[in-house]
Amino acid sequence: TIQSAVNAASPGDIIRICAGTYDEQVVIQTELVLEADNGVVVKPVAVASNATGPTGDAIAAIILAQNSANVQLEGFIVDGSANGIPECSPRLIGILYQDASGIVSHNEIRHMRLVSSLDGCQSGNAIEVESSASGHASVTITGNAVDTYQKNGITANESGTQVSINENTVTGVGPTVGAAQSGIQIGYGAQRSEERR
């Protein structure tokens, strides 16, 4: 599993993931680079809560980088189509950086939606970066493709959060009912870094 490789790694290691479909959620709590070969799909069945948001809400993240610096994710397909979440909680997120820093580049994050009868739930973010009251998050999000999400494509929330967002493709599903879709949201005190060339 990807998680077993993460657990065995030392800070600063580079992990290369071979092509295949991985039925798992991944939690990263140390400085690591994860490089996915072409055809790596992380598609867990029955996604479970593994984090708590700043307001105390339960979160079910497919890939979670937490309390760590320099976590880099590249080349993954993160697929939420088998999430199996039967109600509005926990909140579904594809890639979540929580009090963490690093780079999210050249990934595809898709199908972050609950079952059709739950369209009104404020759930289903593809990429999210957030800080706790005493924490900090700084993430570069570049060259990713995001589609078929329920709530937000790319989200940065809370004071202490800083993001650089560039060259991503974010595609919504058209007119919706219930949860209002946002392509990119930077709010609740989060800051966007200016690109300098």
Confidence of residue 126 (pLDDT cuts 50, 70, 90): very high
Q: What is the mean pLDDT of residues 44-70?
A: 97
Q: How high does pLDDT run on average in the chain?
A: 95
Six-digit token string for 52: 């708590």
What pLDDT shows up at residue 197? 39
* Residue 3 one-letter amino acid: Q
Give the integer Cα–Cα distance in Å for 21 and 178: 32
What pLDDT shows up at residue 196? 45
pLDDT at residue 34 tops 70: yes
User: Picking from 59-68, 94-103, 112-121, which range would have the lowest pLDDT averaged per residue?
Assistant: 112-121
Q: What is the mean pLDDT of residues 61-89?
A: 97
Q: Tens digit of pLDDT for each residue in 142-197? A: 999 999 999 999 999 999 999 999 999 999 888 877 788 999 999 999 999 865 43
Which residues make Cβ contacts (< 8 Å) with residue 103, sequence separation at least 6?
Answer: 72, 73, 74, 139, 140, 141, 142
Output the 3-class SS for 46-98: CCCCCEECCCCCEEEEEEEEECCCCEEEECCEEECCCCCCCCCCCEEEEEEEE
Which among 95, 70, 66, 61 has a CA at the least distance from the CA of 14? 70
Q: What is the mean pLDDT of residues 43-54?
A: 96
Structure-model confidence comparison of residues 25 and 177, the more confident one: 25
What pLDDT shows up at residue 194? 64
Q: Tens digit of pLDDT for each residue in 104-113? A: 999 999 999 9
What pLDDT shows up at residue 195? 53
Give the residue ranges of DSSP H helices in the chain: 2-8
- The answer to whether 127 and 104 have CB atoms below 8 angstroms apart is yes
Q: What is the mean pLDDT of residues 129-152?
A: 96
pLDDT at residue 3 tops 90: yes
Give the integer Cα–Cα distance in Å for 61 and 90: 9
CA atoms within 13 A on the CB side of 108: 13
Six-digit token string for 110: 């898709």
